């Protein structure tokens, strides 16, 4: 481990916040950057070295990093959501470019960048794709901003003499506050609203999604993988899938979720949560007031189209992780245990009752 600092980009997201927790626990000096204010750590403290800037603004990003010569590693986990896959390319590439230009322009000590990608590199968002997906599989047609980000990173690294690692987690489970694109909080809020109305827990996805073989990645596993990749020589210039190490089916996991909430399970009832939750804001406010939860509106805790996408995944979703294990990273967790443990964290943080 070097004496330089690690910049975590997108530090408020489910992945970024987990990376910050892991790296600070491991004794690394961390700098965070986000549009919002400082990142809160367990125990209520915040990351002292925080840069608040809109990364879409190249000039502002450059100014924010002016004079910084203490950053030698970057973990890039930022994401800008847009209305279509094609529309996500330009802003997400621009943000990465602005960070690389700003840090590279103010520091000659940059030695390694870890870029967080994902399963969409294999086309899983289209439905059926080759499984188990391997890092050597050819790219799909796109548009997919991961490809453009990787091309930018590879070229910049070659030009400026630093190394890189690409990590591809999938279906990340973890706690983040005020970051609604999170399957865990989506499931937790859905179950909470059902229980609040004395309803059983019904799977809202499709029959094929109910039985499909899926995977997930605990955010703590992602954090551990990032920590490993920052220093492992076997991670240099490599792309790795990273998941919990097992697979799950909703039909088997659902009873564990219901058990956590003390609810009965009823037969599935396919529905679109984006439509069903459109009138539930006041109901959620009532739940928040009754149980003294964090005063966050429904829109800040769950992005229902994102949750619907998970529940509509009817094909198997499996990535091979043999490559990262052979390279030396072996952390794993049972997905059923991961889901329940993360729900317990949501409860401890007063995000669900």
| Nearest CA-CA partner of 143 in 86, 95, 88, 96 | 86
**228 in the same domain as 210:** no
Residue 93 lies inside a defined structural domain of this protein: yes
pLDDT value of residue 107 = 53
User: Quick one: angle between helices 335-348 and 183-196, nearest 10?
Assistant: 70
Q: In this predicted model, what pLDDT tens digit does every residue of 100-116 receive, in sequence order? A: 999 986 557 899 999 99
What is the mean pLDDT of the segment spanning 74-79? Answer: 98
**12 in the same domain as 60:** yes
Distance from C-alpha of 66 to C-alpha of 61, rounded to nearest angstrom: 9
**119 in the same domain as 74:** yes
Find out whether 226 and 23 touch, Cβ atoms under 8 Å.
yes
* Residue ranges making up the domain that contains 183: 176-215+247-316+334-348
Q: In this predicted model, what pLDDT tens digit does every residue of 132-185 receive, in sequence order? A: 999 999 999 999 999 999 999 999 999 999 999 999 999 999 998 878 889 999
Residue 46: band (very low, low, confident or very high) from pLDDT cuts 50, 70, 90:
confident
**146 in the same domain as 208:** no
**126 in the same domain as 159:** yes
Residue 187 is inside which H or E element, if any?
A: helix 183-196
What percentage of the chain carries pLDDT values higher than 90? 90
22 versus 127: which is more confidently predicted? 22
What is the mean pLDDT of the segment spanning 75-101? Answer: 96
Distance from C-alpha of 120 to C-alpha of 221, rounded to nearest angstrom: 19
Residue 84 lies inside a defined structural domain of this protein: yes
What is the mean pLDDT of the segment spanning 271-278? Answer: 97
Residue 344 lies inside a defined structural domain of this protein: yes
**182 in the same domain as 99:** no
**119 in the same domain as 147:** yes
Backbone angles phi, psi at 31, to 5 degrees: -115, 130
Domain count, the chain: 2
28, 277, 313, 314 from 207: Cα distances, Å? 46, 21, 10, 8
């Amino acid at each position: 481990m070097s004496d330089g600092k690690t910049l975590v980009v997108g530090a408020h997201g489910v992945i970024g916040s987990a990376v910050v927790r892991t790296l600070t626990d491991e004794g690394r000096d961390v700098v965070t950057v986000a549009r919002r204010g400082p990142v809160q750590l367990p125990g209520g403290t915040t990351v002292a070295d925080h840069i608040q800037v809109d990364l879409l603004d190249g000039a502002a990003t450059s100014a924010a990093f002016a004079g910084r010569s203490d950053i030698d590693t970057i973990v890039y986990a930022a994401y800008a959501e847009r209305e279509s896959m094609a529309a996500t390319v330009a802003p997400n590439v621009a943000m990465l470019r602005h960070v690389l230009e700003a840090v590279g322009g103010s520091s000659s000590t940059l030695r390694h960048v870890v870029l967080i990608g994902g399963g969409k590199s294999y086309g899983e968002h289209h439905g059926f794709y080759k499984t188990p997906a391997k890092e050597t599989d050819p790219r799909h047609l796109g548009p997919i901003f991961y490809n453009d980000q990787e091309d930018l990173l590879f070229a910049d690294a070659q030009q400026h003499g630093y190394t890189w690692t690409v990590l591809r987690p999938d279906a990340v489970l973890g706690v983040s506050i005020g970051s609604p694109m999170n399957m865990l909080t989506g499931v937790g809020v859905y179950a909470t609203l059902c229980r609040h109305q004395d309803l059983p827990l019904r799977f809202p996805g499709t029959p094929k999604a109910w039985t499909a073989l899926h995977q997930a990645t605990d955010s703590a596993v992602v954090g551990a993988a990032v920590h490993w990749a920052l220093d492992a020589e076997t991670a240099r210039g490599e792309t790795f899938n990273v998941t919990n190490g097992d697979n799950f089916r909703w039909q088997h996991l659902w009873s564990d979720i219901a058990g956590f909430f003390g609810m009965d399970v009823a037969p599935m009832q396919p529905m679109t949560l984006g439509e069903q939750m459109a009138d539930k804001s006041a109901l959620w406010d009532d739940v928040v007031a009754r149980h003294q939860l964090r005063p966050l509106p429904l829109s800040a805790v769950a992005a229902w189209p994102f949750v619907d996408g998970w529940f509509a995944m009817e094909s198997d979703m499996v990535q091979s992780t043999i490559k990262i294990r052979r390279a030396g990273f072996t952390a794993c967790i049972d997905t059923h245990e991961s889901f329940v443990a993360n729900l317990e964290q949501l409860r401890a943080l007063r995000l669900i009752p």
